[in-house]
Structure 1
Amino acid sequence: MGNQVEKLTHLNYKEVPTADPTGMDRDEGPRIGVSYIFSNDDDELEQQQQQDSVGRDMGGEHPTPQPYDPRLQEVECAVYYRDECIYRKRGSGGQLSTYTPENLLNRCKPGDLVEFVCQAQYPHWVVYVGDFQVVHLHRLEVVNSFLTDASQGRRGRIANYLYRYKPLSPATVVRNALEQVGCKDRELSWRNSECFAAWCRYGKREFKIGGELRIGKQPYRLQIQLGDKRSHTLEFQSLEDLIMEKRRNDQIGRAAVIQELSSHLQAAEEEEEDPDLCGFPSNPQSSEDLRDKSLLTL
């Protein structure tokens, strides 16, 4: 990702709060890699809504939106920290079923995480705090909204099962969320709505900006399922970087991800088989490309 900054940059590590909400977190010394990119999730959603509104005002015709099918749109994947699976999204068993915001109100309990999804948009995560209300990171500010308003017309699901960390008590999750309401701009410690919601529920500093070391071997692996017996694995130095890539995949959709990876792997194989490149390659692959190829599972 480099060190480019889109909106906000913490000037130094001391400005990045990393305290565990349980009070057990301790400063273990300086960390490396404190230049961050904030997500434009909500910006893209509102831009799309504005374009649709302009099109209607000008009398333009838009194709009727197709019903959202998570089995076709969403990418099945798993996240590993070393050998431990810490996240898994499957399409089997109805785990990705979605509901209208009104139906979600009858299913949610305080402390639950809700993921709103829609085709060609980033997922939006919120923390349900009771009384039909949620707390979420929206346009670079932590706000308190009604669940139906936060959905912005999207369908959603309770997302407690996706991460496999041990959750904090529901009362602690709600307190973590409510205590952050009003935080914005440089006060923020999360790159997107998912990182914020997951931090509220699990209390792990890995979800925060600069919350862990970014040196040495990449300990996180994102395994993307391409088919019944075929997958592709990418490595990351931090959980927040991995989450950004996972969310990008959800935004562009399953078909685009499979096409993107297939094109990359096919090009790499053709370059490897080209006899003109044997021995003295004129354009050698990067170490990242070689790493990705070696992690392809058939």
Structure 2
Amino acid sequence: MGNQMDRLSHLSYAEVPTVDPNGVDTEDGPRIGVSYIFSNDDDELEDGCAVDGTEKDPNQEEKQYDQRDEVECAVYNRDECIYEKSAKSASLEVYSPENLLNKCNAGDLVEFVATGQYPHWAVYVGDFQVVHLHRAEVKNSFLTDASQGRRCRIVNDLYKFKALGSDMVVQNAMEQVGLKDRELSWRNSECFAAWCRFGKREFKMGGEIRIGKQPYRLKIFMSDKHSHVLEFQSLEDMIMEKRRNDHLGRTAVLQELAAHFSSLLEHTSIH
């Protein structure tokens, strides 16, 4: 696939710093920074695939989407919060595609969600249609077709950037329709849709120079008192990890972190 970068494994957690989004350590528990480089193939798993990437059994009943399994998180660029998602937020209420149509305005960002799948983002352009990046091509589809039976919601407020005017958002989206493979500048549907709405080059591949610093921090809320922070060189790297967590779900992410902390304690006790 065009614009594909070599996938790198996770760095050793023992080799990276503990950080806090405000620059000070608190008693919220361990925070470990790490940077990733990903390929842009996560959208390939959005439909027709199980969590492990294998083909789903068409006769298997789809699990109902459970908002309680949302991964609650916040993203900081240095000290500024640029993204925040809480499962308790009323703005994250999910609807059927048909019901969402009554709530959409041109230029809105729409997210399609389903258990065990990456979230899929699109730009509503009016007349029941969305523009979205799907399987390495920017497409103009009816919202109900793009949803593929998934639940959906309007996610204009997750990113804290100032939005462009609705006409410009729609224009940004429509001008990209038909782009595919090596012509693309985005690694997934979320980066594409967010770029259309906010116009920030940071959502594009190579939009930021990687110079060793890691200004982006993804804070995962494990409980009311504990959180875990990962550190990234670029916004698009952070988005890829955030999407991976959304794909896994809260339960699996917490299990993964618990296994990691257990491994760290074991390693420390041995040495």
**Percent identity of equivalent pairs:** 63
3-state SS of paired residue (1:127):
strand
Whether 1:69 aligns to 2:63 is no
CA deviation after TM superposition for structure 1 residue 42, in Å: 3.5
CA deviation after TM superposition for structure 1 residue 238, in Å: 0.5
Partner residue of 2:113 out of 106, 110, 117: 117
TM-score (norm 1): 0.76
Give the stretch that moved more between structures: 145-154 or 209-218: 209-218
3-state SS of paired residue (1:135):
strand
Instruction: Tell me the residue number matched to 2:212.
Output: 216
- Checking the alignment, whether the CA contact within 8 Å between 1:41 and 1:122 is kept in structure 2 is yes
After superposition, residues 192-207 of structure 1 pair within 5 angstroms as: 192-207=188-203
- Checking the alignment, whether the CA contact within 8 Å between 2:216 and 2:233 is kept in structure 1 is yes
Change (3 A) 1:162 1:83: same
CA distance in 2, matches of 1:115, 1:173: 16
**Deviations 1:28-50 (CA, angstroms, capped at 9, x unpaired):** xxxxxxx8621232345223596
3-state SS of paired residue (2:123):
strand
- Checking the alignment, whether the CA contact within 8 Å between 2:169 and 2:196 is kept in structure 1 is yes
Instruction: Tell me the residue number matched to 1:79.
Output: 75
- Checking the alignment, whether the CA contact within 8 Å between 1:125 and 1:197 is kept in structure 2 is yes
Kindly tell me the number of residue pairs found equivalent between the two proteins. 237
Partner residue of 1:8 out of 2, 13, 24: 2
Whether 1:182 aligns to 2:184 is no
- Checking the alignment, whether the CA contact within 8 Å between 1:76 and 1:89 is kept in structure 2 is yes
Give the stretch that moved more between structures: 91-100 or 75-84: 91-100
- Checking the alignment, whether the CA contact within 8 Å between 2:125 and 2:170 is kept in structure 1 is yes
Instruction: Tell me the residue number matched to 2:97.
Output: 101
CA distance in 2, matches of 1:87, 1:111: 19
Whether 1:150 aligns to 2:155 is no
**Deviations 1:135-179 (CA, angstroms, capped at 9, x unpaired):** 000110000000000000000110001000000000000000000
3-state SS of paired residue (1:47):
coil
CA deviation after TM superposition for structure 1 residue 66, in Å: 4.2
5+ residue gaps, structure 1, are: 1-6, 12-34, 57-61, 278-298
Instruction: Tell me the residue number matched to 2:41.
Output: 39
- Checking the alignment, whether the CA contact within 8 Å between 1:226 and 1:232 is kept in structure 2 is yes
After superposition, residues 16-55 of structure 1 pair within 5 angstroms as: 37-48=39-50, 51-53=56-58
> Whose RCO is larger (CA < 8 A, sep 6+)?
2
Query: Where in structure 1 do 4 or more consecutive aligned residues deviate above 4 Å?
Result: none
TM-score (norm 2): 0.83
- Checking the alignment, whether the CA contact within 8 Å between 1:78 and 1:224 is kept in structure 2 is yes
CA distance in 1, matches of 2:179, 2:101: 26
**Deviations 1:211-241 (CA, angstroms, capped at 9, x unpaired):** 0011122000000010111100000000001
Change (3 A) 1:66 1:46: closer
CA distance in 2, matches of 1:42, 1:152: 14
Give the stretch that moved more between structures: 264-273 or 146-155: 264-273
- Larger Rg: 1 or 2? 1
CA distance in 2, matches of 1:181, 1:238: 26
CA deviation after TM superposition for structure 1 residue 97, in Å: 1.4
- Checking the alignment, whether the CA contact within 8 Å between 1:43 and 1:139 is kept in structure 2 is no
